[in-house]
Amino acid sequence: NKYNIQSEEFHFPGHTDYLDQELEGDALMLMVQDGLRVGLFTDHIPVNEVSNHLTEALIHKKIETVHKTLIQDFGITRPKIAVLGLNPHCGDNGVIGKEDDVVIKPALKKMFDKGIMVFGPFSADSFFGLSQYEKYDAVIANYHDQGLVPFKTLSFGNGVNYTAGLNKIRTSPDHGTAYEIAGKGEADYNSFKEAVYLAIDVYNNRNEHKELVKNPLKTKQKQL
């Protein structure tokens, strides 16, 4: 687990952060279970540091990563992305925090003006309960538990942790090491199985996307 692997040589809070340094690209944690995809603007940082990390530059970079990932890794031609608000009720016009109005909304507008179909911010407390996520190809949460609590509530045991944005494909189960059930014969392999399947799907989708970019007319003719 994250505590046991810490050493002078390895001081990363998780695999995502380590792979972000070692591989090409901008790593982004994306939880996946069939059509439900939940990404994060920030991941393994304390909650009291989230607001300081949320800058327009970070939001732009993460949205671009999710947008590119949906196209090349999941084969979605014109993806729609939803973004959750940081504060309760998206700040209620500044009454409960200003980040949604001052940082998130302007950042989303710039991305939308660039041609990326990104919408929000949406109030996080009702977004999943009302099944609004079903209208979008991906949802981006502001911090770890804002995204993973609803994801695991809906998909625990079947989801996959996909590290998007890298030049290599990396997937893993959506759960931790579970030392407490080691040796008891209680482990469920389903999330691991789904991680393997997703890695294969992403590999195939990337190859298909490369072929499409290289020769769009030939690919279109082959589909016809």
Q: Based on the structure, what is the number of domains in the chain?
A: 1
| Cβ neighbours for 146, distance < 8 A, ≥ 6 positions apart | 84, 124
Instruction: Work out the mean pLDDT of the chain and round it to a whole number.
Output: 90
| Cβ neighbours for 221, distance < 8 A, ≥ 6 positions apart | none
Examine residue 171 and state whether it is found in any structural domain, yes or no: yes
Name residue 140's beta-bridge partners: 39, 83
The tens digit of pLDDT for each residue in 57-116 reads: 999 999 999 999 999 999 999 999 999 999 999 999 999 999 999 999 999 999 999 999
Residue 30 one-letter amino acid: L
3-state secondary structure (DSSP) of residue 160: strand
Share of the chain above pLDDT 70, in %: 90
pLDDT band with cut points at 50, 70 and 90 for residue 219? low
How far is Cα 206 from Cα 127, in angstroms, rounded to an integer?
31
What residue has token string 């949906």? 70
The tens digit of pLDDT for each residue in 112-146 reads: 999 999 999 999 999 999 999 999 999 999 999 99
| Cβ neighbours for 170, distance < 8 A, ≥ 6 positions apart | 15, 19, 162, 163, 199
The pLDDT assigned to 11 comes to 62
What residue has token string 């290599």? 168
Instruction: Give the CATH number of the domain where residue 112 resides.
Output: 3.40.718.10
What domain range includes position 168? 16-223
The pLDDT assigned to 215 comes to 78
* Rg of the Cα atoms in the chain: 18
Examine residue 187 and state whether it is found in any structural domain, yes or no: yes
What residue has token string 């016009």? 93
Examine residue 39 and state whether it is found in any structural domain, yes or no: yes
Examine residue 1 and state whether it is found in any structural domain, yes or no: no
Q: What is the pTM of this model?
A: 0.87
Q: Is the CB of residue 81 less than 8 Å from the CB of residue 137?
A: yes
Examine residue 65 and state whether it is found in any structural domain, yes or no: yes
